[in-house]
Amino acid sequence: MNNIIEGFGNSSESSIDDTVNGFTVTNELQVLEETYTNQKSCGCGGGGCCGKKRTTQSRPVAEYLSRTEGAIVPNFVEVEFKGRRREIFLNKKKLAFTLYDAVIVETHQGEHFGTVAAFGLLNEKILNKVNSESQPAYSVLRLASDAEVKQNEINTAEEHSIIQYGRTTAHEFGHDIKITDAEWQLDKKQLTIYFTAPQRIDFRELVKNFARMYKTRIELRQISGRDEATRLGGIGTCGKLLCCTQFKPSTAHVTLDHARTQQLSTSNISKLTGMCGRLKCCLMFEIENYESVPEHAVSL
């Protein structure tokens, strides 16, 4: 559970609530696995009269790319926010998008700035796979104007000083926490501060301090080590960018059993640990193969 503490303005009241992450999906291209048939000119359909067999090919990427060339009007749009957080929104106003367009979306907190990460067939299939019974609750309001893009740049520039102020203030209050990131809402009606801590602590006094300083609604959100690595990014021990920052934004549940199944030594856990301090997500990539091979292997 995430530890969320909210405050508003100079109010002396704050609250602590347990929440879970909102509706998010991963941008996995394997959900687009479709096949098509190449019918031969003879019309036999590969029946053998022309000596040619019917061929079946998988096109997980081509179908998606063919529907995203230029601006189109999709039913669903996947928007990426700061920290590589992604959500799918409805396109009720039938706006035309291209990839990486800056957009303004509605959320339960108000208007928020983001960029278009994907749309079209890809999002429809992801949505059906993740949640086929309901649609996203919010929609894209409009394409961001030049003034809104500029305002977002100003907000982003201010966030670094907010992080530094938060770390100094937390140290003064004696809290054993690490301020990881800060994020302004576009209209500055809310400021979200992300942090990690070894345990759950009451930070209400810290929230009041932030509220007095920035005169807005404050939300302190405790995140896990995996979420921190996703937001900050980095280079893994393999020499490549972290998987969670590239193609795997969803949190994985990895245990030592996954390592043992792959016959990896668990005597030195540091070799199996990623930058987040948890077991590496890549231990999950081929686990299904390792689990199925013994069932089909020949006994010796």
Q: What is the pLDDT of residues 115-174, one digit of tens each?
A: 998 887 766 776 666 555 567 889 999 999 999 999 999 999 999 999 999 999 998 888
Residues 33 and 122 in one domain: yes
Choose one of 226, 243, 273: the last residue of a domain: 226
Choose one of 124, 149, 174: the last residue of a domain: 149
- The residue ranking higher by pLDDT, 32 or 278, is 278
Angle between helices 146-173 and 204-214 (to 10 degrees): 140
Residues 112 and 173 in one domain: no
Instruction: Sort 141 into a burial class: Cβ within 10 Å, 0-12 / 13-18 / 19+.
Output: middle
Report if residue 86 sits inside a domain: yes
- The residue ranking higher by pLDDT, 270 or 121, is 270
Give pLDDT, residue 251.
Answer: 63
Report if residue 24 sits inside a domain: no
Range of the domain at 290: 228-296
Q: How far is CA 75 from CA 61, 78, 101, 254, in A?
A: 19, 10, 16, 35
Report if residue 46 sits inside a domain: no
Choose one of 226, 254, 281: the last residue of a domain: 226
Q: What is the pLDDT of residues 218-242, one digit of tens each?
A: 999 988 888 888 888 888 888 888 8
CA 90/CA 160 separation, integer angstroms:
32
Residues 174 and 143 in one domain: no
Q: What is the DSSP string of 120-135?
A: THHHHHHHHHH-SS--
Residues 57 and 81 in one domain: yes
Report if residue 45 sits inside a domain: no
DSSP-based three-state secondary structure for 33: coil
Which residue(s) pair with 268 in the sheet? none
Whether the predicted pLDDT of 193 surpasses 90: yes
Residues 222 and 243 in one domain: no
Give pLDDT, residue 153.
Answer: 94
DSSP-based three-state secondary structure for 244: helix
Q: Number of structural domains, the chain?
A: 3
Q: Which segments of the chain does DSSP mark as H helices, in order?
A: 62-66, 121-130, 146-173, 204-214, 225-232, 243-246, 256-261, 287-296
Across all residues in the chain, what is the average pLDDT?
74
